[in-house]
Amino acid sequence: MGTQADKIFVNLPVKDLKKSIDFFTALGFEFNAQYTDDNATCMVISEHIFVMLLVEDFFQTFTKKAISDSTKTTEVILALSANSREAVDELVHKALAAGGKASNDPADHGFMYAWSFQDIDGHLWEIMYMDESAADQG
């Protein structure tokens, strides 16, 4: 069946690395100091999921394309699962209190509940809880 990756490293350009670290720390995320310097940091989402926050000039060294202005255009929506509806609300409230912006209103689909926010660089994050037992009944 071919090679399968067992980890993901999402790379996001940021304007101010310190402010981004402060923002995501307020949301409860931790960082791997081994992969942190003045140009980048490695935010740990889980054992297998990481987000590399790269200052824009450094990010530009990895691509010949222009960096999109995420406050005006959408390059990706990063969707993370949560353990409950309450955990969804808690993380979005933390993001808004830390300087993030509202994105979409909460969406309740019965078996799935989601809410989203924009981080301080305008990247879109959707936090969702899925009740798989309710989805199976649908």
pLDDT of residue 136: 61
Q: Are residues 85 and 136 in the same domain?
A: yes
Q: Are residues 46 and 6 in the same domain?
A: yes
User: Along the chain (138 residues), what's the average pLDDT of each consecutive run of 10 residues?
Assistant: 82 98 98 97 97 98 94 93 96 98 95 97 97 69
9-33 burial: b if 16+ Cβ within 10 Å, else e: eeebbbeebeebbebbeebeeebee
**Domains held by the chain: number:** 2
pTM as predicted = 0.90
Q: Are residues 54 and 104 in the same domain?
A: no
pLDDT of residue 100: 98
Domain containing residue 87: 74-138
- Burial (CB < 10 A; 0-12, 13-18, 19+), residue 54, is buried
CA distance 28 to 103: 20
The CATH number for 90's domain is 3.10.180.10
